[in-house]
A and B are shown apart, each in its own frame.
Chain A
């Protein structure tokens, strides 16, 4: 069985500040891990994915995440927040490969203050 816990349903940062969104996973098999972003009234867009290659994964829009097996974590970071980063962010896990169903966390809403 797999599960994802996102710590903090709402995170607020100032423009230009570091963004850190936390995700911890549980998986009985080596996991595939993903971060998706959802803008209002839109679908989910993939930010980045971990598929057992490099533990530091770089994604779109300046985001990156580090897979830490010992901590069962996959936190999302961005050095400098932009107003356009305000959205809902979802961490997800799947077993075996990306063509098996995703199990999502509850999401974290990111607000960026000018």
Chain B
């Protein structure tokens, strides 16, 4: 059963700490998205990659967020330093064509 795997599922951290979220896309999918879900803003795109190359990261605060794909089986989203306003659920999704498959999300709480 192919699925997108995200770790950790939950993360509580103190303001100012670095946070790294990981995503394993479905094998063979060449496009990976990072979305953030909050009550206020809903689901918004942070960044996405195709064949490991970043295509759009305009949704990310550049001074503190970074997204990478070290290889085809791993995508990472880092926040440094984290702030309380970063508290949200972060979703990774992957696709090879007409539909995106979502992971279970990482629920981040910054205190």
Which residues of chain A have a CB within 8 Å of any CB of chain B? 32, 34, 36, 41-46, 49, 51, 90, 97-99, 101-107
B50 close to chain A: CB less than 8 A: yes
Residues in A whose Cβ lies below 8 Å from that of B56? 101
A80 to B29, CA, bound (A): 36
Beyond the given A43-B91, A44-B91, could you list 16 further A-B residue pairs with CB under 8 A, ordered by the A residue number? A32-B98, A34-B99, A43-B103, A43-B104, A44-B93, A46-B99, A97-B97, A98-B99, A99-B30, A99-B97, A99-B98, A99-B100, A102-B33, A102-B45, A102-B100, A107-B42
Secondary structure dominating the interface of B: strand
CB distance from A56 to the nearest CB of B (A): 18
How many A-B contacts if CB must be within 8 Å?
A: 54
B96 close to chain A: CB less than 8 A: yes
A48 to B100, CA, bound (A): 11
